[in-house]
Amino acid sequence: MVAASIFARLAAEAAAVRDGQDHVRTQELLNVCREMLPVLDRFGTSFVIVRSDVGGNINRLAKRQAEDPGRYSVINAIIEEEVSKQDLGSSSCTKGLLWLKRAMEFVVALLKRLHDDQNVTLATAANEVYYATLYKYHGWITSSAFVLALKLVPSREVFFEKLGTPGRGLMNEMYQFISAFSSVLAQIQKFLADRGLDDPAKV
In a domain, 183, yes or no: yes
In a domain, 177, yes or no: yes
In a domain, 1, yes or no: no
In a domain, 201, yes or no: no
Question: What pTM does this model have?
Answer: 0.96
Q: What is the pLDDT of residue 166?
A: 73
Residue 120 lies in domain = 8-193
Answer whether residue 186 shows pLDDT above 50.
yes
pLDDT digits (tens, 9 = 90+) for 66-119: 999 999 999 999 999 999 999 999 999 999 999 999 999 999 999 999 999 999
5-30 residues labelled b (16+ CB within 10 A) or e (exposed): bbbbebbebbbebbeeeebbbbbbbb
Q: How many domains does the chain have?
A: 1
Q: In whole angstroms, what is the distance from residue 36 CA to residue 34 CA?
A: 5
Answer whether residue 196 shows pLDDT above 60.
yes
In a domain, 199, yes or no: no
For the chain, the straight-line distance linking the first and the last C-alpha, in angstroms and rounded, comes to 47
CATH of the domain at 64: 1.10.3520.10
Pick from 60, 75, 48: nearest CA to 187 = 75
In a domain, 74, yes or no: yes
In a domain, 47, yes or no: yes
pLDDT digits (tens, 9 = 90+) for 145-172: 999 999 999 999 999 998 877 788 999 9
In a domain, 198, yes or no: no
Answer whether residue 19 shows pLDDT above 80.
yes
Angle (CA) 173-14-41 rounded to 5° is 70
